[in-house]
Chain A
Amino acid sequence: MSDKKTAIPSLQVVTSPISQLIGASPVLPGESEEVYQYGLVATVQELGAITPLQIYLAEKIHECLWWMRRYENQKRATLIRNMAELLDPQHFGRDVSDVEAWAMDALFANRLDDAFIKVLKKHNLTVESLNQKALESNQDVLESLDQMIALKAKTLAGFQASYEVLVNRKVNAERMRLQNALMQRDLSAIENEAVNEQSSKSSKATGE
């Protein structure tokens, strides 16, 4: 029997020299370093970043996307936690009760089976009303998370524009050099005209 090996894409870690110098890890506890690196490699390849500053900016672009995903996950987790709390109103305190843990498991896995519906009915709730109640009680938190996402989106746009500037810099420099040359030529042409006019006038004057 021949062993068929599936092709696993090798993870080539990309880190800009600038990030190596700063040495901060962008991944928080509980997040996958591998998933982050795959995303980063894809971003760097897609943008075609080569120089240290370009790779650094590509990293920052990817990090902004990562933060946005992180905030989205936190929004979901906040909602689910509150929904679970609503299903166990007898329990007080910040620790997680058994019912809450079970409800959180079911909601994270999106497993709305008969047992879950039964618990919902016990509290005179539906999935929609439970969701609405959780949204209502966590409005402040969700709003602040949305603001953070908006800030990251703005920063992302800024980094993308900076990246474009950096990549197109050589083209711009060449364009400006050509424009300068053109202006110089025009100026010299004007100067020549003026000089010619003056010289013709002076020659006429001397001729008279």
Chain B
Amino acid sequence: MSSPVSPQRRQANRRNALWSTGPKSDAGKKRSAANALSHGLSAPIELQSTDPLLIAISNCIDQEVQESHIAREIARRIFDYERNLAYQREIFVRQFNLLSTNAGKETGVRALFGAELDMMDDYLEEQRIFKRPIAKKDHSFVSNTKHKMLKLWSKVDAREQGERAKQEGNSVRYLKRASNQLIKVLKALKAA
């Protein structure tokens, strides 16, 4: 069976790839290292060989695996998988809480523009207490402002929902990767 990519094409790809190898300056490397650090699920685990948790897990499986470096690798993968699974649990509970709480439009708008809404309500209340007539333009101003606030809140809400969905999608991907890596390292024991 012939390879789908010709050797010439592969060489050309390698040559071209040299032009796009990411940031070169130290500052640029530092900046790109912090890309998508909102959850840190894809970040490599900085577990040192002296980390007590890693040592404890390694010790648990050391006798079974018989090779300490393999035991440490399995421990690292277990830790990574558990970290991703814990995040999935968190997401599940968060979704459940969002459904069960009464987070309606009014609550959302108030969370964003609480002070402004209070000011308008105070003004209307004051006019009512002192039995002053409320001008038509004031009425329309209040209703227009509330309408604008609602529109703004809808935008913020949609953006937040989008962010949440994106984060959840990514977390599923990371969980899938972590579980695959754990399974792979365990299956590799066959050959060991």
Contact = CB atoms under 8 A, between A and B. Distances in A.
Contacts of A81: 99
A117 interface: no
- Most chain B beta carbons < 10 A, residue from A29, A53, A81, A168: A53
B149 interface: no
B156 interface: no
A54 B61 CA distance: 10
Contact of B53 (A21, A28, A29, A155): A21
Contacts of A54: 64
A70 interface: yes
Contacts of A95: 102, 104
B172 A24 contact: no
Contacts, number: 82
A52 B60 contact: yes
B180 A158 contact: yes
Given A93-B102, A94-B104, A95-B104, A17 B60 contact: yes
Contacts of A181: none
A17 B63 CA distance: 14
A105 to B, nearest CB: 16
Interface string A136-157: 0000000000011001000100
Contacts of A52: 60-61, 64
Interface stretch (A40-48, A159-167, A185-193): A159-167
A23 to B, nearest CB: 9
Contacts of B104: 93-95
A147 B176 CA distance: 12
Interface string B71-93: 00010001100100110010011
A17 B64 CA distance: 13
Given A28-B96, A162-B187, 4 more contacts: A22-B53, A26-B89, A95-B102, A165-B190
Interface of B: 53, 56-57, 60-61, 63-65, 74, 78-79, 82, 85-86, 89, 92-93, 96, 99, 101-105, 172, 175-176, 179-180, 182-183, 186-187, 189-190
